[in-house]
Structure 1
Amino acid sequence: MKESELTTLLHTMTLEEKIGQLVQLSSNFYSDAEGALTGPMAQMGVTEKLVADSGSTLGASGARQIIDLQKRHLEASRLQIPLLVMADVVHGYKTIFPIPLAIGCSWHPELAEEAARIAAREAAVSGVHVVFAPMVDLVRDPRWGRVMESTGEDAFLNSVFARAFVQGFQGNDLKNDRDRVAACVKHFAAYGAAEGGREYNTTDLSEWRMREEYLPAYKAAVDAGCKMIMTSFNTIKGVPSSANRWLLRQVLRNEWAFDGTIISDWGAVRELLAHGVAEDEQEAAEKAIKAGVDIEMMTLCYPHALENLVADGRIPVSLIDQAVFRILNLKNDLGLFESPYRGVDEEKEKEIVYCAAHREQARKLAEESCVLLKNNGILPLQGHAKIALIGPFADSGDLLGSWSWKGEPRDTQTLKQAFLKDASFDTFFAKGSGITQTNSHFLEEAVVAAKQSDVVILAVGESSAMSGEASSRTRITLPDCQQKLFAALKATGRPIVTLLFNGRPLELGSLAEQTDALLEAWFPGSEGAEAIVNLLTGKTNPSGKLTMSFPRTVGQIPVYYNSFNTGRPLAENPQEPKYVSKYIDCPNEPLFAFGYGLSYTQFMYENLKLSASRLMEDEQLIVTVTVANVGDRPGADVVQLYLRDVAAETVRPIKELKGFKKIFLKPGARAEVSFTINEPMLRYVHSDLSSRSDSGRFEIGVGDSSARTLNAAFDFVKKDGVPR
């Protein structure tokens, strides 16, 4: 449909029909309208006319359901405007990939893009038009349950993955590529900075820090062409995001030129009352529409109040028209006016969804997402060994994570099933404990199994419900019963390989020191069990690296690699016993640092070289390093480039990730890895909130983690010679 035709359609609509387009209702209103309208949801004030006029729904899926739903909607719509179908496809539709935090640990954005492409393909054939993903929030507090949805603590890395996910979901031709879906980036903005790591809690950041650290990943997603942005539940500058004109109109619309659709999160418009910035639904509607929220999700302030607000002259009709036009334009971008049943196909759905090819990709990504945190030589497992597989995850399908909407734990292969496929092991099984409870029988059974074995594989962690939305925790340790299980097994004297299943970095306590090997598996997805067995047996060599630091204790939080130096840094005053920035009862450093991860082979870094000792503003500087596989196995390593601005107009991090390359080397092989440094990479947010570079000294670090690098330095000189 041409833009002129969309404009004509807009002018044909009544005000009531326009307001309907701004409303998103859950799918039960459409699939069983009479039951929904006469049941408890009727208290919301939903009418049959509003359902007919509404512009979008969430939570529906399945080719037959969507075909029937869209057919009924078109029949009820006076102007035959198709319904947008949206859903929480976060890291897979039916084929579930590892959680996003794990995907980040792959340091493989091409695989992340492919995962999003597959999720889009399955969702589209099942009738979904828009997915509520990716979440690009920067996170540094593992108490917050939704760290599982992010790719970690670094703005640069999050930006790389934001672009990859958007490209994977949307492709290059959304209208004609019916295997793609529109991406809704969330949560705008700074949701990951909630105080105390408590869900839905207040965020209070300076604008300087927001622009420097928290906004870049959203900007990267906008630049990649994302079609929709979701507001966050938190406040920014004391104003909830869904009523925040500065955030939505000044930053998103004016500065970033975002012309897509803005949607509230579930119930967020009416929650302006609870926040205390609106007295009633009318004021909430007025503030949200003026701020720029186009779609109100699952509350009805807009249909209850907008007509009166127009009649009273408090808002112009043009404000509603702008929002409606953006929604119509999104439908047009998806080709829904020409093809209301876009991409949906019952037969193709049976063929594509959860197919073997998609599951194979899920396995590959799971293998690259797991992070080997410790290994005293017990791994990889030797053939013909006796294995005791013990723990609440030993025979559990709860490997998908809390946002695996269509994933089925009961259909997911368990570790026990995966191990039984490998005839080279004699394997004993015992539950040992549940997630939060155990008993003497479980413990005794586990000890017996351990004593019959050569090595214990202990599968422990959080249930999927213990992370994700509304799953904040003050104690991020393993539950007491699982720690008790570990202690009982340790007493047998058998070596222990610990597998962690979790949606956040955990406080591991003495377990990290006492276990013989430690593999962070996260929630690895549909093919996670097979991926883990491949890693444990050496069929695949671990290559994952952490993208979020593991604290030694919850008291360190937030602990992250790119912190500021402070005026009394411990590193520069190691002999000062007291008056430096440190804890008196714990090291400053995390237990496991950003970028850290082990392999079954060893990599040696040497010959760090710079193409020049001085970089002029209009030139480039080439950094090279030689990486050699000095072990006896083929493997992959992530070569990481860090920069530090030694003296700047504002404080700068002690190091910042600026580039990375994942390389594969056979035993004995060497590779020269290069990075290009240019002026844009040296820009930062100044105290006047402008982003620019300064002349000065820069330090370079290249290595296999943020904690281990080879170092060099160069001087950067701007043309104008203007000092800082």
Structure 2
Amino acid sequence: MTTTSPLNEPELQRAKDLLDQMSVTQKLGQMHQVNGAGGVVTEQLAHDVRMGNVGSVINEVDAEVIAQLQSIAVNESPHGIPLLIGRDVIHGFKTVFPLPIGLASTWCDETIERSARLSAIEASAVGINWTFSPMIDVSRDPRWGRIAESFGEDPLLNARMGAAMVRGYQTEDPSQTTAIAACAKHFAAYGASESGRDYNTTNVSEHELRHVYLPPFKAACEAGVLSVMTSFSDLNGVPVSGNEWLLTDVLRHEWRFNGVVVSDWGSVQQLTVHGVAENDKAAAEQAINAGVEIEMVSGTFINHAEALLHSGVITIEKLDAAVLNILAMKIRLGLFEQHYLQGATSPYNSEEHTKEAYEAAVKSCVLLKNNGTSLPIACDQRIALLGPLADDGYEQLGTWVFDGDVSISQTVLDGFRQRRVEVNYLPVFASTRDHDNSRIPLACDAAAAADAVVLCLGEEAILSGEAHCRAELDLPGAQEELIRAVSRTLRGRNVPIILVVLAGRPLALECIEPFVDAILYAWHPGSMAGPAIADLVLGERTPSGKLPVSFVRKVGQIPLYYGQKPTGRPVTHDNYVHMDQFPMRAEQTSLGMAASHIDTHFTPMYPFGYGLSYTQFEYRNLQLSSHEVSATERLDVTVEVVNCGKIDADEVVQLYIRDKVSSVSRPVRELKGYQRISIPAGQSRLVSFSLSRADLGFYNQRSQYVVETGTFTLWIGGDSTCDLSAEFNWISQ
């Protein structure tokens, strides 16, 4: 079911009437997006808007400038068509929520939708009506900088959270003043860029596309997303901004998408750099014929499309279809009725918004390790708070926060002080990349005088995000040296060392994990990072986040994700052999012979779906409505989840399946459902799932979606390695 629908008949007629009145040049103006002038209305920009040569503006956030531009468009341009005003509102506007990869760690669709709703309220207050979010690229390479913007490695998690963001941005009525258009990006398979490098080539079979990378975009379309953005990359040799199969055959014809397709920044012109277009004119031809309708910034459409039309290589029908979609989007957004601001007041920094940012931050933090009773720390303990990220209101916001207000950030140091905890704070380093170890002895002295040590380490915001890809995943600078030094200082003493990691990607923690007693992975948690982390460390709140992506032990394991194929020789605990176990001069085929690396364990450091709590949960009484399910039935699954501890807590219940025998190889496990639930101490909850025929299907060798009869295994538990299982048979009717 969609949250938006095609135009009704009067609205459609309105769009068609407008289209009939427009010249070719004015139509191309609607397909032309320009970059803002940085808080001013230049003579050139005003002229272009007045002449109808611009349909949308990106990166203008000054409310008065936006109002002036909209006034020119509505009152002075030939047909009074208002502008689309675009901005990257990725995980907040002024109030910043956790990074998307952090939001994904909440496993809470309601939190995702609420963060997008409040972001839209803040952004729309200055006149923004279009955001280039959500990014729903399935991401399985933590070296890729843009994994920070993603919802992780799983198609279902990306699909559900992407749809939740669409609902939050657009609401059920996109024409209301606080709604903004969402944009699903980057279509498609951008997360599969070779070597985890941005803008790089992607080679993905159609089989993998349909099972992994396309489902989140299909879900966004079904949720009524108003726009889709093309990927920078080429896909199997064809750059997406010129890929007719993807943009027209799949998106338009197969999925019946009725929104707008926009290129990424300059990606149409970059068809010439890819080497598939001889010049800008040829690039415009390819992109328009492929199905791109708004060109972001580079201007090949406005400069060359009229000549292409006269030469017959593009058709007026193609242009008209594109412009009709753009006009329809503006009508759906209600821009003709609410086209510019009249004294709007920005709602950010309200108690409601900061409270929601705090709740999202609490839910997003993942407890990866907790030896004994290392956490929580009692409020009367003296804490040595060490690290450059403990009191940096900017870096905790993370990547893609052009408009985030640092003045409302509350740091970890702020959080502890607000709770009146005795804190000795030392940043130790100037930044996370600092190699100067001269202040490490002072940090060790502070640790020696404390009852507990909290290390706030990780990577700065600039080290993740677009174009900020890394070949190594260790803690940069001298941070690891600090951890080891503090560990040596406290050896033999009952002083817990708590590592709080603030980062934009999953880091490889194997080499430093033995030197700390607890690890709280906080990602970049946003404006309210400090109170959230302090409350988790002090036990005022209980950690409940779960990993949306597997954490590798070593970079060489990449890609490592839970839903891998079994292969013909799967590695198991029984057949795995580490190279240190090889006897000298062993025969080549005498050991191992399984799909693994011989110099590290085959498992991840921390698996997908993993996250500890301050309590323990037990799963009991797994029940299936039937063990023989026909094509017309649904399979109902119930399980009892018990909170065995003394603390009220949240748990994320996860359901996985495996098709044991099928005509194409299927993953060893697939996530098919999840629920975030609250359970009081000592009590239990009965959790139910329902699986339909569609949940059990896959694309066969002919790219047809099928559900084959056979046996399935089903697991329910707290992460992707859960072992409570049952089997059922899918039978023909």
Q: Pick the TM interval, shorter chain.
A: over 0.9
Aligned positions of 1:325-724 closer than 5 A: 325-341=324-340, 344=341, 346-349=343-346, 352-376=347-371, 377-397=373-393, 398-423=395-420, 425-433=421-429, 434-493=431-490, 494-571=495-572, 574=575, 577-719=591-733
Aligned positions of 1:171-250 closer than 5 A: 171-175=171-175, 177-250=176-249
Instruction: Quickly say closer, same or farther: Cα 1:240–1:101, change in 2 above 3 A.
Output: same
User: Which amino acid is 1:360 matched to?
Assistant: K
Matched residue of 1:709: which SS?
Answer: coil
For 1:17, the equivalent position in structure 2 comes to 26
The alpha carbon displacement at 1:81 in A equals: 1.4
User: Which amino acid is 1:187 matched to?
Assistant: H
Matched residue of 2:439: which SS?
Answer: helix
User: Which amino acid is 2:683 matched to?
Assistant: A
For 1:56, the equivalent position in structure 2 comes to 56
For 2:300, the equivalent position in structure 1 comes to 301
Instruction: Quickly say closer, same or farther: Cα 1:421–1:575, change in 2 above 3 A.
Output: closer
Instruction: Quickly say closer, same or farther: Cα 1:50–1:289, change in 2 above 3 A.
Output: farther
For 2:111, the equivalent position in structure 1 comes to 111
- Take 1:710 and 1:403, find their aligned partners in 2: how far apart are those partners? 40
Please tell me whether the aligned partners of residues 50 and 73 of structure 2 are also in contact (alpha carbons under 8 angstroms): no
Matched residue of 1:182: which SS?
Answer: coil
- Take 2:570 and 2:50, find their aligned partners in 1: how far apart are those partners? 61
Matched residue of 2:396: which SS?
Answer: coil
Instruction: Quickly say closer, same or farther: Cα 1:575–1:403, change in 2 above 3 A.
Output: closer
For 1:44, the equivalent position in structure 2 comes to none
User: Which amino acid is 1:386 matched to?
Assistant: R
Range that drifts further, 603-612 or 249-258: 603-612
Matched residue of 1:510: which SS?
Answer: coil
Q: Deviation string for 1:621-669 (max 9, x for gaps)? A: 2222211111111111111111000000000100101011111111110
Aligned positions of 1:132-171 closer than 5 A: 132-171=132-171
Matched residue of 1:491: which SS?
Answer: helix
The alpha carbon displacement at 1:29 in A equals: 8.1
User: How many pairs align?
Assistant: 704
Q: Deviation string for 1:85-144 (max 9, x for gaps)? A: 011001111111101111111011011111111111111121011111101110000000
The alpha carbon displacement at 1:606 in A equals: 1.7
- Take 2:298 and 2:50, find their aligned partners in 1: how far apart are those partners? 12
Please tell me whether the aligned partners of residues 697 and 713 of structure 1 are also in contact (alpha carbons under 8 angstroms): yes
Please tell me whether the aligned partners of residues 93 and 403 of structure 2 are also in contact (alpha carbons under 8 angstroms): yes
- Take 2:699 and 2:95, find their aligned partners in 1: how far apart are those partners? 41
User: Which amino acid is 1:235 matched to?
Assistant: D
The alpha carbon displacement at 1:553 in A equals: 0.2
Segments of 5+ residues of structure 1 without an aligned counterpart are 38-46, 720-724
Please tell me whether the aligned partners of residues 385 and 425 of structure 2 are also in contact (alpha carbons under 8 angstroms): yes
Matched residue of 1:106: which SS?
Answer: coil
The alpha carbon displacement at 1:452 in A equals: 1.3
Instruction: Quickly say closer, same or farther: Cα 1:56–1:592, change in 2 above 3 A.
Output: same
User: Which amino acid is 2:571 matched to?
Assistant: L
- Take 1:347 and 1:581, find their aligned partners in 2: how far apart are those partners? 60
Instruction: Quickly say closer, same or farther: Cα 1:157–1:48, change in 2 above 3 A.
Output: closer
For 2:120, the equivalent position in structure 1 comes to 120
Q: Deviation string for 1:479-537 (max 9, x for gaps)? A: 14111111121121142100001111001132122210000000101111111111111
User: Which amino acid is 1:608 matched to?
Assistant: L
Please tell me whether the aligned partners of residues 641 and 703 of structure 1 are also in contact (alpha carbons under 8 angstroms): yes
The alpha carbon displacement at 1:35 in A equals: 7.7
- Take 1:471 and 1:345, find their aligned partners in 2: how far apart are those partners? 39
Please tell me whether the aligned partners of residues 59 and 86 of structure 1 are also in contact (alpha carbons under 8 angstroms): yes
The alpha carbon displacement at 1:538 in A equals: 0.8
Matched residue of 2:368: which SS?
Answer: strand
Q: Deviation string for 1:403-422 (max 9, x for gaps)? A: 11211335411111221111
Please tell me whether the aligned partners of residues 63 and 345 of structure 1 are also in contact (alpha carbons under 8 angstroms): no
- Take 2:542 and 2:480, find their aligned partners in 1: how far apart are those partners? 28
Matched residue of 1:432: which SS?
Answer: coil
Instruction: Quickly say closer, same or farther: Cα 1:395–1:49, change in 2 above 3 A.
Output: closer
Instruction: Quickly say closer, same or farther: Cα 1:20–1:221, change in 2 above 3 A.
Output: same
The alpha carbon displacement at 1:466 in A equals: 0.3
Instruction: Quickly say closer, same or farther: Cα 1:55–1:567, change in 2 above 3 A.
Output: same
- Take 1:332 and 1:49, find their aligned partners in 2: how far apart are those partners? 19
Range that drifts further, 135-144 or 481-490: 481-490
Range that drifts further, 26-35 or 405-414: 26-35
- Take 1:382 and 1:420, find their aligned partners in 2: how far apart are those partners? 14
- Take 2:90 and 2:220, find their aligned partners in 1: how far apart are those partners? 15
Q: Deviation string for 1:170-217 (max 9, x for gaps)? A: 111112x21111111100001100000000000000011100111000
User: Which amino acid is 2:353 matched to?
Assistant: H
- Take 1:671 and 1:184, find their aligned partners in 2: how far apart are those partners? 37
For 1:83, the equivalent position in structure 2 comes to 83
- Take 2:131 and 2:256, find their aligned partners in 1: how far apart are those partners? 22
Aligned positions of 1:9-48 closer than 5 A: 9-28=18-37, 31-34=40-43, 48=48
The alpha carbon displacement at 1:286 in A equals: 0.4
User: Which amino acid is 1:390 matched to?
Assistant: L
- Take 2:227 and 2:296, find their aligned partners in 1: how far apart are those partners? 13
Please tell me whether the aligned partners of residues 52 and 76 of structure 1 are also in contact (alpha carbons under 8 angstroms): no
For 1:43, the equivalent position in structure 2 comes to none
- Take 1:345 and 1:485, find their aligned partners in 2: how far apart are those partners? 54
Superposed structure 1 runs of 4+ greater than 6 Å apart: none
Please tell me whether the aligned partners of residues 625 and 674 of structure 1 are also in contact (alpha carbons under 8 angstroms): yes
- Take 1:353 and 1:409, find their aligned partners in 2: how far apart are those partners? 12
Matched residue of 2:397: which SS?
Answer: coil
The alpha carbon displacement at 1:62 in A equals: 3.8
Q: Deviation string for 1:139-162 (max 9, x for gaps)? A: 000000000111110001111111
Matched residue of 1:560: which SS?
Answer: coil
The alpha carbon displacement at 1:50 in A equals: 8.6
User: Which amino acid is 1:640 matched to?
Assistant: Q
- Take 1:440 and 1:687, find their aligned partners in 2: how far apart are those partners? 57
User: Which amino acid is 1:234 matched to?
Assistant: S
Q: Deviation string for 1:284-330 (max 9, x for gaps)? A: 00000000100000101111111111111221222111111111111
Matched residue of 2:219: which SS?
Answer: helix
Instruction: Quickly say closer, same or farther: Cα 1:35–1:287, change in 2 above 3 A.
Output: closer
Q: Deviation string for 1:578-634 (max 9, x for gaps)? A: 211111111111000000000001111122222222111111222222111111111
- Take 1:476 and 1:223, find their aligned partners in 2: how far apart are those partners? 36
Q: TM-score, normalised by structure 2?
A: 0.94
Please tell me whether the aligned partners of residues 31 and 69 of structure 1 are also in contact (alpha carbons under 8 angstroms): no
The alpha carbon displacement at 1:672 in A equals: 1.7
Q: Deviation string for 1:244-292 (max 9, x for gaps)? A: 0000000000000001110000000000000000001110000000001
Matched residue of 2:25: which SS?
Answer: helix
User: Which amino acid is 2:486 matched to?
Assistant: L
For 2:281, the equivalent position in structure 1 comes to 282
- Take 1:260 and 1:102, find their aligned partners in 2: how far apart are those partners? 29
